[in-house]
Chain A
């Protein structure tokens, strides 16, 4: 196991750095938007409601007024509320719970569209990033199929910014070399002088290492 331990963190530094950037920048962006959204959404509502002491007093007095009415007229029965999941709300008055319920609802509404925007941004970012990998992979696959079918004139063409340019370059060089070899063999095979043709072919194939050499 010890022998399999990675010794180099950077195998392909530019590629990895680009990946790090492409992952961290959207993540940072998402975090910023999320934090901003939550900060504005939640704290904006809460701070808005409790801007000052007078506001707080008004809130409590308003809740007390409603509680007085409910105690006197005994009309309202408290229904289920998500707030009741929070033990802390046990010590809040009914009107206070209603107010906080409303604040949470407003907060949710306020951050809902931000979350939607985040989702769209994330989806777009994911597609954009994955396209830079998926596109080249598709082209690699198509080119391999062409080669399998005997088309050695095929080449891998990648878009600017796509990943895999060095690999494609090397592959194109390899396929170009094979294409040249096969072209030479084909040309030699068309030579009417069979002996010379065979000698040429043999000379071309000699440096080639294949399974037949084993």
Chain B
């Protein structure tokens, strides 16, 4: 009898499929996360040009507008409007005005926008490149906004902007997508040829209705594997946390299998590796601790750098970017919320302001960023929204024809429909239920 019971116990313990528990944030945590998301939205309201809608790259005086930040702004306005944080009509009109400027005035090359535009004239500044990744982030924001306002002019213009992009041209005859093009030097000598934030770009390029990139380009880029502290990761060369987050702000990779690779799990492992890496240097840098982590590209005492961990470049000097840990909330909710609370409770005076968390801090050098970056605020807002609001951004974005086309053409074993059916509610998340696994 005992023997049978023991065998049953062993079988139940070890053979039952491991089901990850969803993390349930407390009402106080929900309140704080919501506050941060609402405050972060203010960046896009205040720092987007009132006429063109183009969003400044940084809150720093004299900063030009960035098309990536503008893409996040389009998403942010749509989210803010849907949440009732800003009036629906106001949000819609801001999004529409911005899209009209992008369509009619903003300087572009074959549909690819220049990385930095003058916020007033929408003309190219700082000899910036027509950027493939930043155009992808802009289009993702525009298409997402179109999903929030289906059947409207917003959706129409968003699709027009998407359709006019010549993705094949940006491949410059290679099997990879080029990073950019300038009128002076033509194609940059850099290509998206290895894992990083490229997946969103690849998805939009392959799934495009006009001049798409061939599906082979999805399979062409390298997937280098590395291991740090037991975390096996397909890693980005910089090891920066943002590279594991940007694509996941829009695309729900849960259940999508890429030749056996699960990029959602990959980002979770990368986040854990990133945290472990900084913890291993906790004795050297005062800013690193159990709840203070997040090595990612950010401003720092020595300027903007691609901070990161192993596996990858592992450039670090004690600088922590709060957005990095926070934007991993969908991968590591408990750890990210603990970090978020730690940053807010201990450093709010220095690092938190009207637009949410500022860029970064470095305790060893007594340095606190005095600026916000548009892309940092954007990834923060979208990830928090996905976490708080039942993966709403994912659901809307995944239902785009282009994304479904990309999944089909690249042979990704999609279970996105299942995910959608698992969490059909688009209501604001309740304090006791978060849809995301820990």
Q: Once bound together, how far apart are the Cα atoms of A72 and B238, in whole Å? A: 9
A94 interfacial contact with B, CB 8 Å: yes
Q: Once bound together, how far apart are the Cα atoms of A132 and B126, in whole Å? A: 63
Q: Which B residues are CB-close (under 8 A) to A176?
A: none
Q: Once bound together, how far apart are the Cα atoms of A53 and B302, in whole Å? A: 21
Q: Once bound together, how far apart are the Cα atoms of A73 and B179, in whole Å? A: 9
- Evaluate contact between B301 and A58: CB separation under 8 angstroms: no
Q: How large is the interface on A (under 10, 10 to 19, 20 to 34, 35 or more residues)?
A: 20 to 34
Question: How does the 8 Å CB contact mask read for B98-122 relative to A, with 1 for contact and 0 for none?
Answer: 0000000000000000001000000
Distance from A15 Cβ to chain B, minimum over Cβ atoms (Å):
61
Q: Which applies to chain A's interface (DSSP): helix, strand, loop or mixed?
A: helix
Query: Closest residue to A64 on the B side, CB-wise?
Result: B304
Number of interface residues of B (CB under 8 A): 25
Q: Which applies to chain B's interface (DSSP): helix, strand, loop or mixed?
A: loop
- Evaluate contact between A71 and B126: CB separation under 8 angstroms: no
Q: How many A-B residue pairs have CB under 8 A?
A: 64
Of A53, A93, A94, which is in contact with the most chain B CB atoms at under 10 Å from its CB?
Answer: A93
- Evaluate contact between A65 and B61: CB separation under 8 angstroms: no
- Evaluate contact between B179 and A74: CB separation under 8 angstroms: no
Question: How does the 8 Å CB contact mask read for B52-67 relative to A, with 1 for contact and 0 for none?
Answer: 0000011011111000
Q: Which A residues are CB-close (under 8 A) to B64?
A: 61
Q: Which A residues are CB-close (under 8 A) to B190?
A: 72-73
B303 interfacial contact with A, CB 8 Å: yes
Q: Which B residues are CB-close (under 8 A) to A71?
A: 238, 297, 304-306
- Evaluate contact between B303 and A53: CB separation under 8 angstroms: no
- Evaluate contact between A91 and B367: CB separation under 8 angstroms: yes
Q: Which A residues are CB-close (under 8 A) to B227?
A: none
- Evaluate contact between B304 and A68: CB separation under 8 angstroms: yes
Q: Which B residues are CB-close (under 8 A) to A60?
A: 60, 62
- Evaluate contact between B302 and A92: CB separation under 8 angstroms: yes
B255 interfacial contact with A, CB 8 Å: no
Partner of A62, one of B126, B301, B367: B126
B256-308 residues at the A interface, CB under 8 angstroms? 297, 301-306
A90 interfacial contact with B, CB 8 Å: yes
Q: Once bound together, how far apart are the Cα atoms of A67 and B359, in whole Å? A: 15
Provide a sorted-by-A list of 10 A–B residue pairs whose CB atoms are within 8 angstroms.
Answer: A54-B62, A56-B62, A57-B63, A61-B64, A62-B126, A68-B304, A72-B190, A73-B188, A73-B190, A91-B302
List 5 additional contacts besides A74-B237, A91-B302; criterion CB under 8 Å: A57-B61, A60-B62, A61-B64, A62-B126, A64-B57
